[in-house]
Structure 1
Amino acid sequence: MARRDFSASRIPGFATVAILVFCALYAPIVILVAYSFNVGDSIAIWEGFSFRWYPIAWNNEQVREVTMRSLTVATIAALIATTVATLAALGTTRRRKTRGQTFIYLMINQPLMVPEIVTAVALLIFFASIKVATGYQGLAYLIAAHTAFCIPFAYLPIRARLEGMDTTLETAAADLYATHWQTFRFVTLPLLMPGIIAGLMLAFVTSLDDVVITLFVKSAGQDTLPTYMLAKIRRSVSAEVNAISTLLLLLTVVLLTAFFLLTRKRE
């Protein structure tokens, strides 16, 4: 008899469960996007199709302010986190394996395993003591907090790219008397660039969407787009919030699609 490979799709009821799970995950998002085009103020009663809420959101000065703040924090935090993550990935993959290397991986990826609320409270206590000592209340605390949280998100794709790279070209460059810097600049870095870009995009999306750490670390008047939307929803839910959410969703989908295209294995 021919051996049949195991396939989960052959389990009775698998397709039904899969459809229900996908509906539970994506039906609320579809409804949110649909009601962002509702002509009326209600988020529960469909009154007709219109784009009116998108210009309203765009012309809202407060929305533009928090959006620019979110983009500024996310961009700076992603750039710093990606730089640190690249150095960490090089330091943990382009060296001989030593005792304690697993512990190093654990420490770098620690923010991924610890509940975000714990990280937020720890950052709050740490930055609060600095605020009291220095009197500085600027945006640098929020950028530093986002950077610390985003480093492991940038580190994972960069490290995965390094581990999948063939070291033959780097060895050949060394055999041709290239210095360590020349080997890195002309061989390692170009090959590593897709992983770096993927890590940058992942860190950017993570910072842009963050709510918990931002709520704990930010000072007065430093709302980002997610915290602004949360505060607005607490007062009243309007189709304007749906429009903002749809645009944020579109940006996230574009970046994650680019991330997938950069990190997928080429045949």
Structure 2
Amino acid sequence: MAKGKSFSVTTLPGFTAIALTTFVLLYAPIVTMVIYSFNDSESVALWGGFSVRWYFEAWDNTQVQEATVRSLVIAVSAAVISTTVATMAALGTTRRGRFKGQTFIYVMINQPLMVPEIVTAVALLIFFATIKVATGYTGLAYLILAHSAFCVPFAYLPIRARLEGMDLALETAASDLYARPWQTFRHVTLPLMMPGIAAGAMLAFVISLDDVIITEFVKSAGQDTLPTYMLGQLRRAITPEVNAISTALLALTVLLLTAFFILNRKRD
């Protein structure tokens, strides 16, 4: 009996046209934005010649500088906190046998990924507003904690994937050679899972750096991050300066995500 051919979606009629149309719709606006970030005109719609003036304008803008520093402080802090929590959670849910309630723990850790971000933002707004009223403190710590909570599942997934792909034989051998649990973790488990930790930290950093909704709901006056500053500019007068900032953020994001995928694929 002849063996049937395997089905492939690429053989369906119109697949190529649909794929090309999808890519154009996804990336044409981004390419247009990058091109117009080098526009010499003050209009975002009229081309006035090639120039990098708007990159220098953004670089010399005091508000952009403050918002950038604030964004980096929040993103780095959130990445460190969320990655630390995610690492402990991944170790607790993978380096042992199955236990009662394990599925529920998975669901709770990944809950921010399932719930619309606006719901998480409203919940954080109510929670932190109560604390602000009780303490009178309105500092940057609320944004850091809010971003950290939201970034935990993003850091958890690559770390858990790395741990699940690791063989327990080396850790077992270390225990057989009388290594204490901490020594086994420090010299065997941690070095092996570092690619996953680094990938999780970079992903958390990118998610925090690009966040708008949670930041808008939680921040106090004078705490604009770079994305919320850009949103405010779009509500006023739009200039190619916004395109230049967006292009710089895009370049940073692509760089970090490329490193994330390289580290996440590393197994040895």
Equivalences for residues 67-82 of structure 1 within 5 A:
67-82=68-83
Residue identity matched to 2:168: T
Are the equivalent residues in 1 in contact too, given 2:152–2:204 (CA < 8 A)?
A: yes
Gaps of 5+ in 1: none
Post-superposition shift, 1:249?
0.2
Q: Which residue of 2 aligns with 1:102?
A: 103
Equivalences for residues 175-190 of structure 1 within 5 A:
175-190=176-191
Quote the Cα distance in structure 1 between the aligned partners of 2:239 and 2:202.
30
Q: Which residue of 1 aligns with 2:224?
A: 223
Q: Which residue of 1 aligns with 2:51?
A: 50
Post-superposition shift, 1:44?
1.0
Residue identity matched to 1:100: G
Quote the Cα distance in structure 1 between the aligned partners of 2:266 and 2:199.
13
Residue identity matched to 1:244: I
Q: Which residue of 2 aligns with 1:254?
A: 255
Equivalences for residues 68-217 of structure 1 within 5 A:
68-217=69-218
Quote the Cα distance in structure 2 between the aligned partners of 1:265 and 1:214.
33
Quote the Cα distance in structure 2 between the aligned partners of 1:136 and 1:108.
28
Residue identity matched to 1:176: L
Gaps of 5+ in 2: none
Post-superposition shift, 1:140?
0.3
Aligned length: 267
Quote the Cα distance in structure 2 between the aligned partners of 1:16 and 1:266.
37
Post-superposition shift, 1:265?
5.3
Residue identity matched to 1:188: T
Quote the Cα distance in structure 2 between the aligned partners of 1:167 and 1:4.
40
Post-superposition shift, 1:3?
3.3
Residue identity matched to 1:154: A
Are the equivalent residues in 1 in contact too, given 2:143–2:215 (CA < 8 A)?
A: yes
Quote the Cα distance in structure 2 between the aligned partners of 1:170 and 1:98.
21
- Listed one character per residue, the Cα deviations across residues 76-102 of structure 1 (whole Å, up to 9, x for unaligned) are 010000000000000000112012100
Residue identity matched to 2:123: A
Residue 32 of structure 1 pairs with residue 29 of structure 2:
no
Quote the Cα distance in structure 1 between the aligned partners of 2:39 and 2:194.
43
Q: Secondary structure at the match of 1:102?
A: helix
State the TM-score, normalizing by the size of structure 2.
0.98
State the TM-score, normalizing by the size of structure 1.
0.98
Q: Which residue of 1 aligns with 2:234?
A: 233
Post-superposition shift, 1:8?
1.1
Post-superposition shift, 1:7?
1.2
- Residue identity over aligned pairs, in percent, reads 72
Tell me which stretches of 4 or more aligned residues in structure 1 moved more than 2 Å.
none
Are the equivalent residues in 1 in contact too, given 2:85–2:152 (CA < 8 A)?
A: yes
Post-superposition shift, 1:6?
1.5
- Listed one character per residue, the Cα deviations across residues 4-27 of structure 1 (whole Å, up to 9, x for unaligned) are 222111111001000000111000
- Listed one character per residue, the Cα deviations across residues 182-210 of structure 1 (whole Å, up to 9, x for unaligned) are 00000000000000000000000000000
Quote the Cα distance in structure 2 between the aligned partners of 1:225 and 1:144.
18
Post-superposition shift, 1:221?
0.3
Quote the Cα distance in structure 2 between the aligned partners of 1:86 and 1:134.
31
Quote the Cα distance in structure 1 between the aligned partners of 2:140 and 2:267.
41
Quote the Cα distance in structure 2 between the aligned partners of 1:131 and 1:248.
31
Are the equivalent residues in 1 in contact too, given 2:195–2:266 (CA < 8 A)?
A: no
Quote the Cα distance in structure 1 between the aligned partners of 2:238 and 2:163.
46
**Could you tell which deviates more after superposition, 91-100 or 189-198?**
91-100
